[in-house]
Amino acid sequence: ASRAFNNRPTFTGLVVVLAASSGGGLVAYADSQPDQPQGFKKKKVVVLGTGWAGTTFLRNLDSKLYDVQVISPRNYFAFTPLLPSVTCGTVEPRSVVEPIRRILEKKGGDFKFWEAECFKIDPANKKIHCRSNVETNLDGNGEFLVDYDYLVVAVGARSNTFNTPGVTENCHFLKEVEDAQKIRRSVMDCFEKASLPYLNEEERKKNLHFVVVGGGPTGVEFAAELHDFVTEDLSKLYPSIQHLVKISLIEAADHILTMFDKRITNFAEDKFGRDGIDVKTGYKVVKVSKDAITMQNPATGDIAVPYGMAVWSTGIGTRPFVVDFMKQIGQANRRVLATDEWLRVRECDDVYAVGDCATINQRRVMEDISEIFRVADKDKSGTLTVKEIQDILEDIYVRYPQVKLYMESKQMNGIADLIRTGKGDTEKESVDLSIEEFKKALSLVDSQVKNLPATAQVAAQQGQYLATCFNKMQAAEENPEGPIRIRGEGRHRFNPFRYRHLGQFAPLGGEQTAAQLPGDWVSIGHSSQWLWYSVYATKQISWRTRALVISDWGRRFIFGRDSSGI
Ligand code: FAD
């Protein structure tokens, strides 16, 4: 099949989005499509995933144009930015989810949804292998095949343990609504256990030691929420043990919230210090057992600390079936699915990837860039050949196509110019660019990748962009003389995806939030908390969830958080 956005597509296929699905057995598709002229067969789009990217794609797709099938192991969309609030009962779980069938029904059009997970993508035969959670097909294994014309992979990512022993068995993760519910129960269990009459002081302390591993936005927000829950609500209910509560935040880097402006990092560390949250930076957790967390620091060596409950929030990794897919298409050495500027999976016709499964997480970006710096440093001769610069930049561009666009959009002199003019130059030729200058130029890359985190913002913008492309595909086919963007290697009907960074928040507890808005405008305090409330109320996916979330906030202001362990 042709690369849909480059070449002229024919409308004879099916677009499939992998996200959530239900049911089993082999899928049969009806050929008759009464709304369309005779002989017209809609293409089948399969969408995998009902998270930020998949749902935004579906909400913006003109479903009259395609036969759309949605597959996902969960039959709802979850508003993940409010999950830390769910862990402490500030917001109820049902307030942050919207059933996908309701979203699709509101949209109207030709959508089908199956609650199942994809466990294998077969790009050669344009099929995906799925498994229902409820084992409903004739063989009793719940497996079924779905074919596609276009596949949209929007399956997000999994929590990454970095193979640290004991993490999976002993730590909580905070990725799904169920995780938040488990954490909430576990916090209450720790308090109830610590209140039992036969425990000594040490055992009570152990049960009331809450450890958060990972000083990124999720870990920091959870630590802040927990601190508020303890001081505002639980201290009144457990007066005899409240002085034994300890919250520790462990981060391997030198600071927490490293992706934010330095002012925010400093403010957060100072505030947590004042609140009594023990921020341990420069410590790497190397082992977690049932009773203790072992961490390492060059100065102190290994330290094992007893704990009652631990939440692991150190970053995300690629799902195993996506890794398998990447191997099939020659991307085994990549960390996430590599796409081009039009979000098409490289070396794989008619497959698109959006959201976390195709967006590299910031920590990994930094590691990659550091590696590239190390490579550049090997040459101490003072200059780099065009070929060396090309190689390094190509590596960056393949991993982060947005960086290329950024450089071009800024009409950067220096390295971007070198790439353009360097074509055809020999390997031996050196250019008038010292390593220092090269590093300086790369630091622009560094500042740009800070704006490419694996976030809901990126996922939603990608979903929306891709839907727009799909919606225009037919019109572009019918009007080949319409506006066409000319690029080096060919003609493209669509502008490439461009990410627009709208800013980010870091709630720090005590009704204070840090906000970093475009233009590096920083605001910290109570006023930003109100901005946070308004933005998150506005961003809700439906009026139902908006009303529920706002009433949860109101309930919390009036009655406090609920401390029953349900
Ligand atoms: P997801 O939203 O994770 O969706 C993935 C979908 O794929 C799900 O429906 C899942 O069920 C489905 N799926 C999984 N496996 C399969 C399979 N095998 N087959 C089919 N479907 C599958 N971002 C922000 O911008 N701002 C924030 O404040 C913010 N706060 C966050 C707080 C928390 C606690 C967390 C966990 C994340 C937060 N994020 C935030 C990040 C944001 O949630 C993610 O970047 C975003 O969810 C990515 O969207 P996605 O569609 O790629 O993946």
Alpha-carbon distance of 321 to 561, in angstroms, equals 39
> And the tokens for 240?
């005899």
* Greater model confidence, 1 or 426: 426
65 has a pLDDT exceeding 70 = yes
Pairing of strands 43-48, 150-153: parallel
* Greater model confidence, 228 or 370: 228
**Which of 21, 4, 136 shows the shortest CA–CA distance to 66?**
4
* Greater model confidence, 380 or 340: 340
Instruction: Give, as one character, the DSSP assignment of residue 130.
Output: E
Helical spans, DSSP H, in 252-353? 262-275, 320-328
Across 22-32, average pLDDT:
37
> And the tokens for 502?
């709208």
Across 198-223, average pLDDT:
96
Q: Cα-flanking dihedrals φ and ψ of residue 43, to 5°? A: -80, 150
> pLDDT band for position 156 (50/70/90)?
very high
Instruction: Give, as one character, the DSSP assignment of residue 63.
Output: T
Burial category of 316 from C-beta neighbours within 10 Å (exposed 0-12, middle 13-18, buried 19 and up):
buried
447 has a pLDDT exceeding 60 = no
pLDDT score, position 429: 53
Q: Give how far Cα 149 sits from Cα of 128, 217, 292, 494, Å.
A: 11, 38, 51, 20
Ligand 1 centroid from CA 375, angstroms: 33
Q: Which atom of ligand 1 is nearest to the CA of 81?
A: 30
Across 39-49, average pLDDT:
87
pLDDT score, position 415: 54
SS3 sequence, 149-197? CEEEECCCCEECCCCCCCHHHHCEECCCHHHHHHHHHHHHHHHHHHCCC
Q: Which atom of ligand 1 is nearest to the CA of 176?
A: 36
pLDDT digits (tens, 9 = 90+) for 299-333: 888 999 999 999 999 988 899 999 999 999 988 76
pLDDT score, position 244: 97
427 has a pLDDT exceeding 70 = no
Least confident span in 200-214, 237-251, 451-465 = 451-465
pLDDT score, position 108: 80
Which residues, at least 6 apart from 112, have a Cβ–Cβ distance to it below 8 Å? 68, 69, 70
Residue 515 CB less than 6 A away from ligand 1 = no
Ligand 1 centroid from CA 54, angstroms: 10
What residue type is 173 in one-letter code? F
> Could you tell me what percentage of the chain is helix, strand and coil, using 3-state DSSP and rounding each to the nearest 5?
40, 25, 35
CB 225 within 8 A of CB 219: no
Say what percent of the chain tops pLDDT 70.
Answer: 72
424 has a pLDDT exceeding 80 = no
Residue 219 CB less than 6 A away from ligand 1 = no
Ligand 1: residue whose CA is nearest its atom 53: 156
268 has a pLDDT exceeding 80 = yes
pLDDT score, position 258: 82
pLDDT score, position 542: 95
> pLDDT band for position 507 (50/70/90)?
very high
> And the tokens for 217?
């936005």
pLDDT score, position 330: 87
Three-state SS at 307 = coil
Across 58-71, average pLDDT:
93
Residue 72 CB less than 6 A away from ligand 1 = yes
Q: What average pLDDT does the structure give for the chain? A: 81
Helical spans, DSSP H, in 61-148? 83-87, 100-107
Across 48-67, average pLDDT:
94
Pairing of strands 209-213, 309-312: parallel
> pLDDT band for position 416 (50/70/90)?
low
Ligand 1 centroid from CA 35, angstroms: 35
pLDDT digits (tens, 9 = 90+) for 273-284: 999 999 999 999
Which residues, at least 6 apart from 72, have a Cβ–Cβ distance to it below 8 Å? 18, 19, 20, 21, 48, 49, 50, 54, 100, 113, 115, 116, 117
* Greater model confidence, 12 or 67: 67
Mutate to test the pocket of ligand 1, among 72, 119, 311, 517 (most ligand atoms within 8 A of CB): 72
> And the tokens for 203?
């055992």
Strands (E), 228-379: 246-251, 278-281, 284-288, 292-297, 301-306, 309-312, 316-317, 351-353
pLDDT score, position 520: 72
pLDDT score, position 271: 96
Ligand 1: residue whose CA is nearest its atom 14: 155
Across 505-530, average pLDDT:
91
Alpha-carbon distance of 354 to 48, in angstroms, equals 10
Across 28-49, average pLDDT:
67
Ligand 1: residue whose CA is nearest its atom 31: 81
Residue 360 CB less than 6 A away from ligand 1 = no
The most confident of the ranges 127-141, 227-241, 415-429 is: 227-241
> pLDDT band for position 9 (50/70/90)?
very low
386 has a pLDDT exceeding 90 = no
Roughly what angle, to the nearest 10 degrees, separates helices 415-422 and 386-399?
A: 110
478 has a pLDDT exceeding 90 = no
365 has a pLDDT exceeding 50 = yes
Q: Which atom of ligand 1 is nearest to the CA of 359?
A: 52
Q: Which atom of ligand 1 is nearest to the CA of 118?
A: 19
Residue 221 CB less than 6 A away from ligand 1 = no
**Which of 95, 103, 96 shows the shortest CA–CA distance to 54?**
103
